[in-house]
Structure 1
């Protein structure tokens, strides 16, 4: 059974890879030749289809072309002798692993575990003869048993699904034969005349009440089936429809459709099979549409006929597979758009010479693909050290990961463990990244590693915001962990480490520092069996850390004082982050440790001196808590948190005690509010925890069981009298179900010891089924984010928890709704008026497209619409559309477009008009991602004629900057952007006694973007009450001051149009000033022009 399953699996994998190759060749040919003829493209994809069906047969008879690729994962089990040979050949004979020579235990960090000294059972790392017998048996036996069961199970599942699909196909053929038997031959002249004129022979036209739309069935004896209503059609409509169906017969489309269904039955798991089935059907319909238009000569009339026929689909009727019906709900809209594209030439029937030419080209391509044979390179004798310029063929591009591990003195670490991970962005805004360990690299006695991986396994991210990236993690006994990400440094200013996927890397590991702490309850009792895990790890240097420790608070500030000072991101202490780099190490690298009976835990081999480890504590009836730990002995200091959960936290030394607050679970049921049916597999997570000023969404979460039950642990207990929206808030994410994402505040009930019972009832929503395309081309936009907000006046708003409480969300930060590969999306909405917004993954589109036609955006305050239940800033979206959903529907169709606009080439110059390179900033696209612009010919894309594109750029050193607006004019092709030295705003703050106000916070805000406000980094007044605020030129500023518990404005509409110094004078501030008041200076501002000097 195993051998048969293995052979079947190898055949399926072989055909899958080769069919992908055929599809890629066909796709490249179509794109390179810019084919728009549906007939021609249909023939090309038909060749791919029949080639895919023929591949298993051709492979058996054609001579092979060897392609070297590792097949170990589906190979037969190895004997202990085989394992020994493989392990011996995996590294040069003179470079045995240090564990083999010295008898040292192997240092391992498992995916579910962390730092620790354990004996490795990985035969790729340690020679098996060094392992105990039991361990060797486990290493060689269990993996094979698991693989055997897995392979057999996969083949059984494949066979069951294929059998079901074949049965469905046979039922469809039988159903077609029954339709033909029950149909009546039509002899009317109105039908026979177009049949005779077409020249198609051997076809009959029949009518039946069993179908709602015209369709073609059969190949050897084809028949066109008309619904009973055909007699009421006009002559023009009847002629067009019969011409369409006869074109199917002439083109042998039924045969191709049958082959597509058969191919899908066999390769149902393969995306190419899905694509061919749908694409060939669409192309066949387009070609037959063109043939019908050629007969009638009326595009508009034919489009109307097609729409009338499509409207009959809602009436039911039988569906025959693989019959060819004239209209399908899924493609009518796109077909009508194609028909009405008067600039598109009609496809022509291909002469036999063209068809023969395609066959002659396709035959050797299919034969070559079939002849490819994967060969395991380990079965071929090779030199111990192959030459650098060797170029073995491969089915997939390979990525080479190589480097050396040293200690801080430069000595090789042969005991190092090097692992490679693939990380992905979480589904939840504040949740941990999803990590998968790709492999463990072999390290020789010189601390060197060199191994290749498939490029698909290790993605190269362009930016830290990308959905997936690769991470290299290095550790060793007695040393700290280090890691680096595989990112392109040129595209992100925040990534400074070398890209290990592109170059040889050298990693130096510092000696590890032990973290030891004790966890206590608020009553001072030890907390035993608490779970301690890693949240994230940061590294820094001594000088920046010393400076940061000097600035950090030595005593915690009251929470109300911190809230009073927080303006647009917090005061300077909070704005000064820990001066380190997040190593982005997967949390699974550290195996969680448990506290002992005294509440004590220790962590070794994780951090080096001055590293920052953010730890997470979880336990029974205690709050899920994070702690910032600096790997040095010191008293606690206080500053801005590096997590998303709090703004202000303590930074402990490596030896500390910490009290965890008590917690009680929250539990209940999630169900439909009307039917009371439980909703299973729904995520319920913490959105906001009491005492937290920022979202914790997804950090603590639970999934409902079959009965709809959930349980959340680790939340703090809000005291009585807690204000609304300040307590614990849960978020419900019913992905895949027709319900809205909903946030609910948990009432403060219970005796603070028993679980809080909190049931959640959701009202069923409407599903918006839509598609997002590029306006100019009709191409789908893949991976776009979708958002929805109803109007406040919508009478249905009060029926849904999501909007009933009147709370307002700022849309644009988080979503779980994306367009698929065809640009399609499903989005839950409610009946009545609302707005759907889409944001493309790239910013190459006009921002706010569609907003001019939407009432909600006609009058805004700072870009915010007050007419919607949630805030939507028009410029944050690339497509906006207003909808009005009937109350009685369950689905609502919507089509959205994004406009790619125009592009301008950009030149950056300095104050002396000399060209600038390596500029960074935002404005070349419509998103606000800060980028390094390292090309010699930058281009601004997605611009709207007469529209405003806010932009902000600086040079590499930050000495030159500008804040500007790009506003393209008709016919404009290029724009020059000049950078200047920053301007400076000065002044002095004193109290009513003329004493200087020390440490007041100043915030400079601007509205370079007319739809939203932006802010510069905050500053503080010095010991004399003076301030000196450097800001980019090119816009107007408003200056606000926070002192004590007051906030006032000291300047507005302060224009910094060029490099200058604006001395505002002296401001007398009273502690009695009303919040938001404007305080005037003692004199008029003094403006001094600052000369531009050459920047080197």
Structure 2
């Protein structure tokens, strides 16, 4: 949905500039303003397409933290039930609401095509020499079908490949002059290919149905289209006053339209009649048609603005980021864990803290290689090396934290047999395990005995033991091993004999006891 939001912002910028330009062109010919609105509506239609296919130019702004729109999965270390972000539901709701609006407006367009096609098939085809004469005046070489139908109350033209002009049933009572005026106007629509611009406007309204400026732009397009056709009718030699009289009489005599024809261009709309009549009777009004070269230059100018705009991209639009949830070994979410991502290419770091659901997000960070690290007191540090993040992509990583190991340090003091000296002992030094988990705690300790023979020989040493604290708080004797290769065997035996009698309160994770590894250091020193 971020793509939709960014596209809407770009379209809004285009539309605001278009209204400002229309104000500047208020003295220009209607054909010029109509071309401008055609290019504007075409521009907002191609904006999302160009944004997807053209290379993007990032804008250097500080990214705003938000929740991840979509992510790809990077396999976690162990399976864990990921919790769906709350923002995902909101994004889905917005998407389905937008899609529902698109379908409603598009359905109106499709139904209009179906109804007008049905009316055309059931209408009576007319053969009038005025058609060929006016087409010749307009240099119109296309084959035009003119029919009379009781399903329409106003003259209108429709069709992109095969243009059709529908006249109301009352048209058989019109004078030759009025028939000529009406046919001139509708054939001018065909000449100008106004049916194409009408369909483009309806598609834009369907895609941006929520945007009020697009509906106003479509209204302005329709207004300028009718005035441009009026100007073209006057260019055929018709007097402005007579043409205005026919418009007024048509608006009075025709019944209100019972059907909506979104794909057709109608001649006489009562709510626009006053503006059109005033424009017709204004002798200062410019009425020149748009030349082909002028249209090409305007299209090039519009492309020069739309193309760069479509390539602009704020960092958040890239949807580049890392996100996921942090779990413990039991599959429960871990809140208030510190998550850090370090860019291995630039050395920059970003840090966040998991929320109550254990979720974390980094949005808008630059593409590159990252180290992800998770810290939580009581747990072992989680590290994920070389997380690769490419442009316009996202990675989901769900770290699973393991219980941190327990470490105990004990110093056993012996003495040399010298009368002035007395043996000294020291208390064991314990490393505290913090965090929200209930850490293991040593409850019963037997101090190792310093072998007398080694004291007499003046031998000191350090014994490093590794063992497993079981769920009942005892040390698993088979798992106990000496990991210091230089330890004296007698000192090692003395340490093991004492340590295997130790007792602990087991580690509790979410109220359940767990086995944890412990490292015990025993120092044998002489004084």
Give the TM-score taking structure 2 as reference length: 0.55
**SS of residue in 2 equivalent to 1:330:** helix
Structure 1 position 249 matched with structure 2 position 241: no
Do the aligned residues in 1 keep the contact of 2:154 with 2:257 (CA within 8 Å)?
no
Other-structure match for 2:4? 12
1:72 Cα deviation after fit: 4.0
Distance in structure 1 (CA, Å) of the matches to 2:26 and 2:152: 38
Which of 273, 284, 291 is the matching residue for 1:332? 273
Instruction: Find the partner of 2:91 among 151, 161, 179.
Output: 151
Aligned match of 2:149 in 208, 231, 247?
A: 208
Residue deviations 1:497-532 (CA, integer Å, cap 9, x gap): xxxxxxxxxxxxxxxxxxxxxxxxxxxxxxxxxxxx
The CA deviation at 1:64 is 1.2
Q: Does the 8 Å CA contact 1:209/1:228 hold for their aligned counterparts?
A: yes
Residue in 1 aligned with 2:175?
234
Q: How big is the shift at 1:189?
A: 2.8
CA contact (8 A) 2:145 2:163 kept: yes
Find the counterpart in structure 1 of residue 165 from structure 2.
Answer: 224
Q: Give the superposition deviation at 1:70.
A: 6.2
Is 1:301 matched with 2:242? Answer: yes
Distance, in Å, in 2 between the alignment partners of 1:370 and 1:376 is 15
**Of 282, 295, 307, which residue of structure 2 is paired with 1:367?**
307
- 2:260 match: 319
In the TM superposition, 1:478-877 aligns within 5 A as none
Q: Give the distance between the partners of 2:253 and 2:65, measured in 1 at CA.
A: 52
**In structure 1, what is the Cα distance between the partners aligned to 2:50 and 2:5?**
15
Q: Give the match for residue 40 of structure 2.
A: 48
The 3 A distance-change label for structure 1 pair 313 and 187 is: closer
Q: Which residue of 2 aligns with 1:289?
A: 230
Please identify, of 230-239 and 206-215, the stretch whose mean Cα deviation from structure 2 is larger: 230-239
1:179 maps onto 2:119 in alignment: yes
> Are the equivalent residues in 1 in contact too, given 2:69–2:91 (CA < 8 A)?
no
Paired residue for 2:57? 65
Query: 2:356 matched to which residue of 1?
Result: none
Aligned to 1:911: none
Structure 1 position 369, deviation (Å) = 1.0
For residues 40 and 66 of structure 2, the distance between their equivalents in structure 1, rounded to whole angstroms, comes to: 27
Question: Following TM superposition, by how much is the alpha carbon of 1:158 offset from its aligned partner in structure 2, in angstroms?
Answer: 1.1
The residue that corresponds to 1:23 in the other structure is 15
Partner of 1:161: 101
Per the alignment, in what secondary structure is the counterpart of residue 343 of structure 1? coil
Instruction: Describe the shift of the 1:277–1:28 C-alpha distance in structure 2 as closer, same or farther (beyond 3 A).
Output: closer
Shift of 1:376: 4.2
Residues of 2 paired with 1:241 and 1:65: CA distance? 51
Alignment deviations for residues 572-607 of structure 1 (CA, whole Å, 9 cap, x no partner)? xxxxxxxxxxxxxxxxxxxxxxxxxxxxxxxxxxxx
Please identify the structure whose Cα radius of gyration is greater: 2
Contact 1:286 1:335 in 2 (8 A): yes
In 2, the alpha carbon distance for the partners of 1:187 and 1:351 equals 32
Match of 2:218 among 265, 269, 277: 277
Structure number with the higher helix fraction is 2
Specify which of 115, 137, 147 is matched with residue 197 of structure 1.
137
Deviation of 1:282 after TM superposition, in Å, equals: 0.9
- CA offsets, 1:176-218, max 9 Å, x none? 2112211222113344433343331221222112111110010
Change in Cα spacing, 1:185 to 1:192, as seen in structure 2 (3 Å) is: farther
Distance 1:286 1:12, change over 3 A: same
Task: State the Cα deviation string for residues 680-702 of structure 1 (Å, max 9, x = none).
Answer: xxxxxxxxxxxxxxxxxxxxxxx
Q: 2:112 aligns to what SS in structure 1? A: helix
Q: Give the superposition deviation at 1:242.
A: 1.1
Deviation at 1:152, TM superposition (A): 1.3
CA distance in 2, matches of 1:33, 1:242: 29
Distance 1:365 1:77, change over 3 A: closer
C-alpha contact 2:59 2:313 (8 A) present in aligned 1 = yes
CA–CA separation in structure 2 for the residues paired with 1:301 and 1:74: 63
Looking at both structures, which has the greater relative contact order when contacts are Cα pairs under 8 Å and sequence separation is at least 6? 2
- Give the deviation of 1:372 after TM superposition: 0.7
Kindly provide the CA deviation profile for residues 399-453 of structure 1, in whole angstroms up to 9, marking residues without a partner as x: xxxxxxxxxxxxxxxxxxxxxxxxxxxxxxxxxxxxxxxxxxxxxxxxxxxxxxx
Distance 1:296 1:230 in 2: 22
Q: Give the total of aligned pairs.
A: 312
Distance change >3 Å, CA 329–CA 297, structure 1 → 2: closer
2:266 is equivalent to residue 266 of structure 1: no
| 2:368 alignment partner in structure 1 | none
CA drift at 1:270: 1.4
* CA deviation profile, 1:162-182 (whole Å, cap 9, x unmatched): 112111111111112112211
Q: What's the secondary structure of 1:178's corresponding residue?
A: helix
Q: Deviations over 1:590-646 (max 9, x none)?
A: xxxxxxxxxxxxxxxxxxxxxxxxxxxxxxxxxxxxxxxxxxxxxxxxxxxxxxxxx
Aligned residues of 1:63 and 1:371 also touching (Cα < 8 A): yes
After superposition, the Cα gap between the structure-2 partners of 1:73 and 1:176, relative to the gap in structure 1 and judged at 3 Å, is farther
Distance 1:256 1:383, change over 3 A: same
> Structure 2 vs 1, CA of residues 307 and 70 (structure 1 numbering), >3 Å: closer, same or farther?
farther
Partner secondary structure for residue 220 of structure 1: coil
1:946-1002, Cα deviation, whole Å (9 max, x unpaired): xxxxxxxxxxxxxxxxxxxxxxxxxxxxxxxxxxxxxxxxxxxxxxxxxxxxxxxxx
Q: 1:300 to 1:316 in 2, by over 3 A?
A: same
- Measured in 2, the distance between the counterparts of 1:34 and 1:383 equals 53
1:57 positional shift: 1.4
Which structure 2 segments of 5+ residues have no match? 71-82, 322-342, 350-527
Question: 1:388 maps to what in 2?
Answer: none
Tell me the CA shift for residue 235 of structure 1: 2.5
Structure 1 residue matching 2:111: 3-state secondary structure: helix
CA RMSD after TM alignment:
2.9
* Alpha-carbon shift at residue 370 of structure 1 (Å): 0.6
Is contact 2:153-2:255 (8 Å) kept? Answer: no
Q: What TM-score does the superposition give when structure 1 sets the normalisation length?
A: 0.27
Between the aligned partners of 2:41 and 2:276, the Cα distance in structure 1 is 23
2:195 and 2:257 map into 1 onto residues whose CA distance is 23
Contact 1:70 1:376 in 2 (8 A): no
Following the alignment from structure 1 to structure 2, what is the Cα–Cα distance between the partners of residues 190 and 30? 36
Using the alignment, how far apart are the partners of 1:154 and 1:71 within structure 2? Answer: 22
Gap change, CA 1:314 and 1:63, over 3 Å in 2: same
- Aligned pairs (5 A) from 1:922-1001: none
How far is 1:66 from its partner? 1.5
> 8 Å contact 1:313–1:328 — kept in the other structure?
no
Is contact 1:240–1:295 with CA below 8 Å preserved after alignment? Answer: no
Contact 2:15-2:214 at 8 Å conserved across structures: no
Residues 29 and 235 of structure 1, relative CA distance in 2, 3 Å threshold: same
For residue 345 of structure 1, the aligned residue among 283, 286, 289 is 286
